Amino acid sequence: MRYAGWPGRRRVSRVFENEQRSLLSLDAVTLDAGGTRLIRPVTADIPLGARTVVLGPNGAGKSLLLRLCHGLITPTSGRLEWLPGTAKAPPRQAMVFDRPVLLYRSVAANIRYPLEATRVPRREHAERLREALVFAGLEQRARQFAPTLSAGQKQRLALARAWALRPDVLFLDEPTAHLDLAATRDIETMINAIHHKLAGVILTTHDLAQARRIADHVVFVHKGKVIEWGAADSFFDRPRAPEARRFLNGELFE
Amino acid sequence: MNFGDVIGQAFRLIFSLDPDLLEIIGRSFQVSLSSVVISAVVGAPLGAVIAMARFRGRGALVVVLNALMGLPPVVVGLLVYVMLSRAGPLGVFNLLFSPTAMIIAQTVLITPLIAALSRQIVEDVWQGYAEQFRSWGIRPIRAVPTVLWDARVGLMTVLLAGFGRAISEVGAVMIVGGNIDHLTRVMTTTIALETAKGDLDLAMALGLILLLMSLLVNALSHAVRRVAGPAASLARV
């Protein structure tokens, strides 16, 4: 499954290796609400073709940061730039939420709805629906009313539905926060199966073990501030910030 | 005449399928069902737009709409009467004392009810959906038909509530319909008239049927919700 248009990892990987190009660059991005500063100035780069994990304790502002990147909320100040240095328009994006938002319709109708609403060419619908059902492991449940699925099946459906839109960039907000271990493993397997075809996967989690399993790149957030960001290996082996060290040792409680 | 006789006579009228009785019941249904259909077509999308759009004065509009749910039928009747009377702005259509006038009055009465209740139901569904639709880049106004469809179970009970209010009100249809025999008599106006005349049999027969209707509407409403619970049967591929 390859898509044309925005540079996927394969096409850009050469560039990536040579120049370390970034997918998204945040320049002094802040967010205020009701007189409170929720996100303190963030300057960070999300690398191209990587699985970036936004890591931090609950209430750190991970989800807000993800929504800022996706454009669900507008920053109070600062700039976001996709593929900085090129004149590319923002990539196609899709997002999976911590509590999957399923329409009160069948499993198949849930996959088909965004295909129709976002004007994916009609001739591709059947094939994409079939692939999404297989991807989610829900071929046998295509006609089932989606709200009656189990929590794990719901999130698999949400992820497969997002993938059916063939985004360039996939955002996932705590996708396994409400799932058990088996369902969590299913979701992680699905993410790993598609991330090669994406220009980037950006996922938030408070789960350190999950971050270690998935991350190529880490953005560590604490109290509305990006404390540290960089390659996952160096973050986990040699964290620079004291908060990051305490979080990795399981000692960060506030 | 004692109570037992009245009840007995009433049942005799119902089971003998008295033609006058059937005519009155038929007109009641014709008027109230028409009103519900028109009110649904206007009120449900209106409620959905208010639930999903964000604009100045929205809060005030919601308060007004909720207040309009309690519109007194006689006041609606009076207003529609003034509009439709010869000297009124719509007098030229010569609609007063016709079933059409009664449909207009009941539509005015229950459209706010259906809009207000639809607003609540759609808002609940939309709260869950909003962020996902924003992520898909679908504007709320384009999502209105989607959310109306997905809220269909709740909306069914709203329509039943609207029908219940329409068929049981007496003030509005009495004023604009005039309770004319074989033309604008419906169940409620007949009960009022026959009771005043002392002809309790027909009044009681119609009263029993109204009670039965109320029971039926509530049973339907309950059934709709029960079916929606497991809901597997509602899914359409």
Contact A145 B235 (CB under 8 A): yes
Closest Cα of chain A to B141: distance in Å? Answer: 13
Q: How far is CA A167 from the centre of its chain?
A: 11
Note the pLDDT tens digit of each residue in A9-33.
444 444 444 455 889 999 999 999 9
Give A7's pLDDT tier (boundaries 50, 70, 90).
low
Lowest mean pLDDT among A10-19, A99-108, A152-161, A216-225: A10-19
- Per residue, the 3-state secondary structure of A189-243, as one string, reads HHHHHHHHHCCEEEEEECCHHHHHHHCCEEEEEECCEEEEEEEHHHHHHCCCCHH
Task: Kindly state whether residue B232 falls inside one of the protein's structural domains.
Answer: no
What is the CATH classification number for the domain harbouring B18? 1.10.3720.10
Q: Which part of chain A has CATH 3.40.50.300?
A: 8-85+168-254
CATH architecture of A8-85+168-254: 3-Layer(aba) Sandwich (3.40)
Residues of chain B with pLDDT under 70: 1, 228-237
- Confidence check on the interface: ipTM exceeds 0.85, yes or no: yes
Does residue B236 belong to any structural domain of this protein?
A: no
CA distance A18 to B34: 72
Contact list in B for residue A144 (CB cut-off 8 A) is 232, 235
Cα–Cα distances (Å) from A203 to A26, A172, A196, A220, in that order, read 16, 5, 15, 12
Contact yes or no for A103 and B142 at CB 8 A: no
For B198: left if phi > 0, alpha if psi spans -120 to 50, otherwise beta; the answer is left
B237 found inside a domain: no
Neighbours of B183 (CB within 10 A): 12
Residue of A nearest to B127 (CA): A101
Taking CA–CA distances from A66, the nearest residue in chain B reads B135
Residue keyed to tokens 């139901």: B121
Can you give the residue range of the structural domain that contains B27? 3-227
Q: Summarize pLDDT for A159-209 with one digit per residue, the tens.
A: 999 999 999 999 999 999 999 999 999 999 999 999 999 999 999 999 999
Residue A20, classed as helix, strand or coil, is coil
Asked if B232 has any chain A CB less than 8 Å from its own CB, the reply is yes
For residue B81, CA distances in Å to B10, B32, B85, B168 come to 33, 18, 6, 19
- Could you give the 3-state DSSP secondary structure of residue B237? coil
Q: How many domains does chain B have?
A: 1
DSSP A106: B
Average pLDDT, chain A: 90
Query: Over the range A120-143, which residues count as b (16 or more CB within 10 Å of their CB) and which as e?
Result: beeeeeeebbebbbebbebeebbe
